[in-house]
Structure 1
Amino acid sequence: MRWVTFDCYGTLVDWRHGIRTGTELIAPGQGARLLEAYNRHEQAVQTEAPTLRYRLVLAEALRRACAEEQVALHHDDAFVLAATLPYWPVFPEVQSELSALRADGWNLALLTNCDRDLVAETLRRLRVPFEAVVTAEDAGAYKPADAHFDLFQRAHEPEAWVHVAQSYVHDMVPAHRLGIRRVWINRLGERPADESIIQRTLPDLRGLPAAVGHPRD
């Protein structure tokens, strides 16, 4: 089978909007700086505890962000991000571009740093069928470790495989290391640390079917 795999949060779902607006619920006016602080802590939490459920990663990274920014956080409020994640918005072009990939004959899969129950809620919002989902809960690790990619490859033995993601560190680097074709969705206009890792770059998913090509090519 021929597959396009995706990261979910940041690539298909507006992760930054979700973190910013979620933290605004508990700390009005502080969402923008808590988003940036959260982003500095999440990967460290995942590295320290690679089997920790993602809802607990969200809570611990938020605790650390609030401590760094000296924002008071009540114990129960640390779980606001897991509670609001099912409502984080899907980027507007996602449904049409994924539908076009399916019409071209590609199978779609998610390789996500998330829990099964949380991503199941997000799948309802994506409104496009996915033939496979690999979560951090399944893999026992968080990207940029290879576990998601290895598990997917063992289960599906793809004849052709393109990985599409927004995160350079979490997705482009391991996909390059494993020799997987890749498209970087550079929504933030970042400069890669190593240009040779990047094969194709798009600012969002528009034009993705042309970028990945026909599955029979």
Structure 2
Amino acid sequence: MAPFDLRSFKGIFFDIYATLIDWESGIYPQLLKLSQKLPAGDPRRDDTPETRKTLLQMYAANEKIVEHDNPTLAYPKILESVYDRIAAALGVPDAANDADRVAFGKSIGEWPAFPDTVEAMKVLAKHYKLFVLSNVDNESFGRTLAGPLKGVHWDGIYTAEQIGSYKPNPRNYEYVVNKLKTDFGISKDETLMVAQNLDIDHASAKALGFRPAVWIARYAGNAAMGGDREELEAKGLIDLGAAYETLGEMAEAVERAFA
């Protein structure tokens, strides 16, 4: 296999939430607020690393189910349904009637960017065409773009709402391949995926024949959501071209490569 060469790509598509946006920090406070409706003495009321991991893993598992079962449901409604399912699993009474559920569905535009994101994206824009492939609706991504990602340039934005399905449906990735080829003359072999999520994005990239992709190992590689690198590599399900702890690290590597 040829060595990984950052100069050999013309276009990059990104998973946004978890890669550019710190979704764990955005999601967790609201789920903690939900678990704190449990009776006094329940350990899941406490703000601990164990509670954080439990709630976020519940979120990830339920999100996959709801998106699979409702491929055309708008993302805020996906979030509301996930909230309901977590409330039911926790045994929180009357949570389904709580205004917090609706607020959770609308919260995506408030999830913060990682501190290195915006400046790193400005560096990458000097060398590549940049694209979004995200499991969100247009309106929610618009709020992210106007807020935490303000100042980031995109050459194309492809959402689940446009495509009509949620990742890991192969048609979402095929949509990007077709758009880049038709609209920009960028072949699949010249396309690089950059994502934090291993068990959805990186597993899909390998299964669908993309070149080895870049893993942004947010949370020092110990994210509550996104899959376990060792386990997935042992099963041969992912093929990483490179790994960086931050997007800023990747931007520095790109500058060196093109110097």
TM-score w.r.t. length of structure 1: 0.88
Equivalent AA in structure 2 for residue 6 of structure 1: F
CA separation of 1:215 and 1:139: change in aligned 2, threshold 3 A: farther
Alignment RMSD (CA, Å): 2.4
Which piece of structure 1 moves more, 152-161 or 164-173?
A: 152-161
Aligned residue for 1:91, secondary structure, equals coil
* Distance in structure 1 (CA, Å) of the matches to 2:34 and 2:68: 26
Aligned to 2:251: 209
Say which is worse superposed, 190-199 or 139-148, in terms of deviation.
Answer: 190-199
Q: Specify whether residues 25 and 68 from structure 1 end up closer, same or farther in structure 2 by C-alpha distance, changes over 3 A only.
A: closer
Match of 1:153 among 156, 165, 177: 177
**Deviation (angstroms), 1:145:** 1.3
* Contact 2:75/2:137, CA 8 A, preserved across alignment: yes
Query: Which residue pairs with 1:166 in the alignment?
Result: 196
Letter aligned with residue 88 of structure 1: W
| 1:142 equivalent in structure 2 | 166
- Determine the C-alpha separation between the residues in 1 that align with 2:230 and 2:22: 21
Instruction: Find 2:231's aligned residue among 193, 200, 207.
Output: 193
Report the equivalent of 1:21: 29
Q: Verify: 1:61 aligned to 2:61, yes or no.
A: no
CA contact (8 A) 1:186 1:204 kept: yes
Of 142, 155, 158, which aligns to 1:120? Answer: 142
Structure 2, unaligned stretches of length 5 or more? 1-8, 37-44, 222-227
Per-residue CA shift, 1:31-88, capped at 9, x if unaligned? Answer: 7343332222110111112222111111111111111112231423322222221111
CA–CA separation in structure 2 for the residues paired with 1:17 and 1:139: 28
Letter in 2 for 1:118: S
Q: CA deviation at 1:214?
A: 8.7
The equivalent position to 1:180 in structure 2, one of 210, 216, 234, is 210
Alignment partner, residue 100 of structure 1: 123
- 2:90 aligned with 1:90: no
For residues 89-144 of structure 1, what are the alpha-carbon distances to aligned partners after superposition, in whole Å with 9 as ceiling and x for unaligned? 000111111111112x2111110000110001111221211111111111111111
Answer yes or no: is the 8 Å Cα contact 1:109–1:132 preserved in 2. Answer: yes
Matches of 1:214 and 1:112, distance apart in 2: 29
CA 1:99–1:38: 2 relative to 1, 3 Å: same
Q: In the aligned structure 1, how far is the partner of 2:27 from the partner of 2:172?
A: 24
What is the Cα deviation at residue 213 of structure 1? 7.9
3-state SS in 1 of match to 2:231:
coil
Residue 7 of structure 1 corresponds to 15
Contact 2:19-2:196 within 8 A present in 1 as well: yes
Residue 210 of structure 1 deviates from its aligned partner by 5.5
- Secondary structure in structure 2 of the residue aligned to 1:37: helix
Does the 8 Å contact 1:2/1:215 carry over to 2? no
Deviation at 1:179, TM superposition (A): 2.2
Instruction: Confirm or deny that 1:132 pairs with 2:156.
Output: yes
Counterpart AA for 1:177: A
Letter in 2 for 1:10: A
One-letter identity of the residue aligned with 1:87: E
Post-superposition offset of 1:162: 0.6
Aligned identity (percent) is 29
With normalisation by structure 2, the TM-score equals 0.75
* CA shift in 2, pair 1:118/1:30, >3 Å: farther
The Cα offsets for residues 1-31 of structure 1, whole Å up to 9 and x where unpaired, read as 9211100111110111111123345554567
Q: Which letter does structure 2 place at the counterpart of 1:53?
A: A
